[in-house]
Chain A
Amino acid sequence: GNSVTQMEGPVTLSEEAFLTINCTYTATGYPSLFWYVQYPGEGLQLLLKATKADDKGSNKGFEATYRKETTSFHLEKGSVQVSDSAVYFCALTETSYDKVIFGPGTSLSVIP
């Protein structure tokens, strides 16, 4: 079945460092891909999305490109801030039925 794999955390970075969180997926058909973010004590919220191959999603300085050839959707940010400390979830939509499949999440801590 469809699934999402993410790099294991936790990830700890210094402020202004470059961030990459790897995400790969297995899917039939052509899913849409998403990154959700969960700040401490809150629910998840959509960070960015891409709906077809080679699309780039971006928001709040974060970017991810839908790579069909490598089945990947890696999240990047050029300079992280303490306020980016959160858990990041990669996700995809099932094309055969109406559901969102989430990866296990990657915890990010940014230290001053």
Chain B
Amino acid sequence: NAGVTQTPKFRILKIGQSMTLQCAQDMNHNYMYWYRQDPGMGLKLIYYSVGAGITDKGEVPNGYNVSRSTTEDFPLRLELAAPSQTSVYFCASSYSRTVDTGELFFGEGSRLTVL
């Protein structure tokens, strides 16, 4: 019972490099989300998707891109990494609108450091 799987768990990038954080869920959830967690700041929504082929910006989308070609996968792309993107990134999914149920299922997180 895998749930939400994120890779890699840890990564160090140099300024200006690019990378993709992978997220996959096996629960057939339509809704998927990317959050970043900074110390003392809680979680901020980066991007979200309500189904394959549909994505939308959250609170802090600058410097990131996403795609949703399948129900299962929701990769997050970082272009031209900057130190401000040093954070822990969480992917989450839900089986219906969160206004209806509120329950998000989270992956274990990906810790990214940009030097």
Contacts and interface: CB of A to CB of B under 8 A. Distances in A.
Interface in A7-50: 32, 34, 36, 41-46, 49
Interface residues of B, number: 24
Nearest to A45: B106
Contacts of A99: 45, 48, 58, 98
Given A98-B31, A98-B50, A104-B40, A49 B109 contact: no
Contacts, number: 59
Contact of A44 (B45, B97, B99, B106): B106
Interface residues of A, number: 24
Interface of B: 4, 31, 35, 40-43, 45, 48, 50, 58, 90, 92, 97-99, 102-109
Interface of A: 4, 32, 34, 36, 41-46, 49, 51, 89, 91, 93-95, 98-100, 102-105
25 contacts: A42-B109, A43-B92, A43-B106, A43-B107, A43-B108, A44-B43, A44-B92, A46-B102, A46-B104, A49-B103, A51-B102, A89-B43, A91-B102, A93-B98, A95-B99, A98-B31, A98-B50, A99-B45, A99-B48, A102-B35, A103-B42, A104-B40, A104-B41, A105-B40, A105-B42
